[in-house]
Amino acid sequence: MQVVTYTDARANLKDVMEQVVEDHEEVVVTRKNGKPVVMVSLDAWNAIQETMHLLSTPANARALRESIAQLDAGKGVERELIEMADA
């Protein structure tokens, strides 16, 4: 994760934003008189939000953990995807 100062980020905002999007990596922006902030791409932010939503209820989080444990134990079942009919 790259760390840049507010001054550098402001002077090179276009390049910093391109780096975040192209490299799929967060950039921490430090501030002289404030807490740092993190710049992330919209795709990364949406993925974080989706993960938080999926883990927001204990029952769903437990089911996901159990499913991952089954896959790790080699108990996964491969299935064919059902094709949706054209609307």
Domain ranges of the chain: 2-40, 45-72
Q: How many CB atoms lie within 10 A of CB 82?
A: 6
Task: Give the Cα separation of 57 and 4 in Å (integer).
Answer: 36
> pLDDT tens digits, residue range 4-63?
999 999 999 999 999 999 999 999 999 999 999 999 999 999 999 999 999 999 999 999
Task: Give the Cα separation of 48 and 36 in Å (integer).
Answer: 19
Q: Is the dihedral of CA 38, 42, 45, 49 positive or negative?
A: positive
Amino acid at 34: G
Q: Which CATH architecture has domain 2-40?
A: 3-Layer(aba) Sandwich (3.40)
Angle at 43 between CA 39 and CA 48, to 5 degrees: 75
Residue 87 has pLDDT above 80, yes or no: no
